Structure 1
Amino acid sequence: MSQNNIQNSLFLSAAFSEKTERPPVWMMRQAGRFMPEYWEIKNKYSFLEMCKTPEIAADVTMLPVDLLGIDAAILFSDILVTAEAMGGELSFTQGVGPRFANPVRNQSHVDALLTDVDDRLQYVADAIKVIQQRLNGSIPLIGFAGAPFTVMSYLVEGGSSKDFKLTKLLIHNHPELAHQLLAKIAKVTIDYLNLQIAAGVNAVQLFDSWALALSWDDYTEFSHNYNKEIISKLNRKDIPVISFCKGSSVFAPLMADAQPDVISVDWNADLLDIKKKLPAGIAVQGNLDPHILYADKKVIKERIHRLFERMRGENGFIFNLGHGIMPDIPFDNVKYAIEVVKEYRY
C-alpha cells in the first residue's frame, strides 16, 4: 500500500513538512502495557510469540487504532528481532526485560552472526500485510528497526544495561571489532527496513534508544555514521523516515546530516529552538515529557497547548512523547491527551 491509498493523512503531510490543520498524534509504545486489552493478549502468549504470529501482532497493533483514535499505527514488534535473526538467543522475562544467552564479546562471536536473514524475518512482512488489510487505508502504518549501536549494546551486554560498560570497553579497546559488528547489524537493518517497505508500511522509524550513553565523538563514529548509511540505502520514495534517539536534543544537528524526513526529539530541549536549527524540510516529532501523562488532566491539557502554541505557524510537527508511554500511566489520561490534540486547531 502506497501513500496514495491513504486519503488526507495528517501524519504523512506533517512528516513531509506540509501544512496541517493540527499536529497529527501517535505515541511511542502506544500498543503497550498501559492497556488492559494488551494484557488480555499478553497473558495468553509470550512476548516473542506475539511478535512472531502475524494475526496476534496485528491484534496488538490495532488496539490503539480502535481504542485511542491515533493518526498513525505502528507495527507491534521489537527492536531486537534483527539481533535474534542474526543468531542471538533472545528471551524476554517479566520484570527483567530482554536477555541474550550468547552475548557477543569476541571475534568468533562476531564472525558467527548471520547477515542474510530476510527469511527469518518474514513473519514481520506477513504481519504488515494483515495489519494493512485491517487498516484498509484509514491511517498510515509505521514500521521500525533498532539502530546498530542500540542493537549492539544489547548483544554485547547480554541484555539491558545502566552503564553500558561492556559496550564502551568494546568500542574503546577494540574499535575495529565494534565496527565489524556494527557493519553487520547495519546491513541487516537496511534489508529489514526495505522488507517492511516492500510489505506495505507507509513510514519507518529508526530507534537509537541508547545513543545518549555516548559522547559526541563516539556517537559520530559508532552510531551516526551507520544510521546515515542505513537511511541512504532505504527505498524511501513516498516513505518518510523518522530518526529517533534518546539524546536527540544534543545530537539533532548530526541526525539531520543523515537526511531523515523527521527527527524525533526528547523532552530536554525547546522544540521550536531545535526546529529552527534544522535544515528546511526536516520535520520534528515529540517532545512532551511522558511523565506529564501521570498528572491531572488540566495539567495535561495545559502542557499540550503550551507546546502547540510554541510551535504555532511551523509546518512539519508531529505530536508525540519524548520517549515511550510508561506501563503504569492511566489509560484514561492517554486517551484524554489524544482528544486534546485532536480538538486543537491552529
Structure 2
Amino acid sequence: MRDSLLIKAAFSESTERPPVWMMRQAGRFMPQYWEIKNKYSFLEMCKTPEIAADVTMLPVDLLGIDGAIFFSDILVTGEAMGGDLSFEQGVGPRFANPVRNAADIDALETDVMDRLQYVADAIKVIQQRLNGSIPLIGFAGAPFTVMSYLVEGGSSKDFKRTKLLLHNEPELAHRLLSKIATVTADYLNLQIAAGVNAVQIFDSWALALAWDDYKEFSHKYITEIISKLNRKDIPVISFCKGSSVFAPLMAEAKPDVISIDWNVDLLDMKKRLPQGIAVQGNLDPHILYADRKVIKERIHRLFDRMRGEDGYIFNLGHGIMPDIPFDNVKYAIEVVKEYRY
C-alpha cells in the first residue's frame, strides 16, 4: 500500500490528484447500511467480523473511495475497560455505569486486548476482501473524548460533569485519562499488527475544551499514544473538532496528517504547520446537501487553492450526516477522482 494515493499523500509525497475518503462513509446515509442494520444491533455489527467487513466494504464497492476505514466505534475501548455500553436508536451511546469517583476509575481495567480481538479478526477479513486494492484505515477514540462518554454516561451538550472533574479533581481526571491512553495505544498497535495501513485518532469533543485544558487533558495523552505506536510505514492521522484552533499544537504530537475542520482556510493552515505534516479535509459536509453544481464548484475551489501542495487528502471537516443524499456523496467522489492538478 506504500504506493497508494492515500499513503503517499499522508507521507507528504506528490500525487496526481488528492485521494478521497470520508468520515462516516460506511453509515446511515446508505440504504444498503440499513439493510444490514435492521437485522443486527450496532454492537453485533461491530463484534461480528464478517458483518463488520460487509459494512466496511459498502463505500468501497458503491462509492469507489481511495481508502477504507473499518467499521467499529470509538467507544469499544471504554467498553473493554469495563463500561456497560449500549446504543439506543435516536439516543446514541450510553454507559449504564458512568465513572464518577476514584473507585470507579480504579475498577477500570487496562489489560484488555483479548476483549478487542474481534477488531483484529475483522481487520483480517476486510484485508482479504480488499485484496490490496486500497489501504485500510484503523482508528480509536482519543482519551478525552472516550472519557467524556464514560463520565457523562453518554452524549452531552455541555460536558458539565467532565469539566467539573477536570477542574475540581484534576488528579482523578489524569488517572482516568492515563488508563484510557494506555488502552488506546495498545489497541492501535493491535490494529497495526492485524494489518491496517494507517490509523486515525478521533478527538470528537476536543472543541469543548479551552486552550489550556486541551493542552493538559487531551494533547498530552495524544502525544503519549502517538509516541508508543509501531508506526513504520503506517501514517498516523490526528483529527479533532476544533482543529482549526488546535492544529499548530496538534502538530507537536508528531502525527503524519492533521485532519482539519471547515472553519479555516486549508492552505493557510497547512502553511502554519511544520514541513512534512500533511492535511486532510476540510469540506463542510453540509455542502453535500446542495445542488451538484455547488458541490463541484466548492470541491474545485478547495483543490485549486491546494494546487502545488504535497500532502493533501480530501475529506470532510467532520462526518457525513445520515440524511445526506447518497447520490450527492457519490457525485462528490466522482468530482474528486476526475480532478487533476
Shift of 1:36: 0.2
Shift of 1:253: 0.7
Match in the other structure for 2:282: 287
3-state SS of 1:285 partner: strand
Shift of 1:158: 0.2
Shift of 1:339: 0.1
1:128 aligns with 2:113: no
1:186 aligns with 2:185: no
Shift of 1:190: 0.4
The amino acid of 2:39's aligned partner reads: K
Match in the other structure for 2:103: 108
The amino acid of 2:28's aligned partner reads: R
1:245 aligns with 2:207: no
The amino acid of 2:184's aligned partner reads: T
Shift of 1:163: 0.3
Match in the other structure for 1:258: 253
3-state SS of 2:60 partner: helix
Q: Distance in 2 between matches of 1:183 and 1:215?
A: 20
Q: Distance in 1 between matches of 2:106 and 2:228?
A: 24
The one of 94, 98, 103 equivalent to 2:89 is 94
Match in the other structure for 1:159: 154
Shift of 1:299: 0.2
1:37 aligns with 2:32: yes
Task: Give the count of matched residue pairs.
Answer: 341
How large is the Cα RMSD of the aligned pairs?
0.4
Q: Distance in 1 between matches of 2:24 and 2:218?
A: 23
Shift of 1:331: 0.1
1:236 aligns with 2:247: no
Q: Distance in 1 between matches of 2:308 and 2:249?
A: 25
Q: Distance in 2 between matches of 1:344 and 1:312?
A: 11
Q: Distance in 1 between matches of 2:186 and 2:251?
A: 22
Q: Distance in 1 between matches of 2:199 and 2:97?
A: 29
Q: Distance in 2 between matches of 1:339 and 1:190?
A: 35
The one of 265, 271, 275 equivalent to 2:266 is 271
Match in the other structure for 2:71: 76
3-state SS of 1:76 partner: coil
Q: Distance in 1 between matches of 2:221 and 2:326?
A: 37
Identity %: 87
Shift of 1:92: 0.1
1:18 aligns with 2:28: no
Point out where structure 2 has 5 or more consecutive residues left out of the alignment. none
**Which portions of structure 1, spanning 4 or more consecutive aligned residues, are displaced by more than 4 angstroms?**
none
The amino acid of 1:220's aligned partner reads: K
Q: Distance in 1 between matches of 2:218 and 2:268?
A: 24
Q: Distance in 2 between matches of 1:37 and 1:112?
A: 40
The one of 144, 160, 170 equivalent to 1:175 is 170
The one of 303, 325, 334 equivalent to 2:298 is 303
Point out where structure 1 has 5 or more consecutive residues left out of the alignment. none
3-state SS of 2:16 partner: coil
Q: Distance in 2 between matches of 1:327 and 1:303?
A: 21
Q: Name the TM-score, length of structure 2 as normaliser.
A: 1.00
Shift of 1:134: 0.2
Deviations along 1:249-274, whole A, 9 cap, x unmatched? 00001100000000000000000000
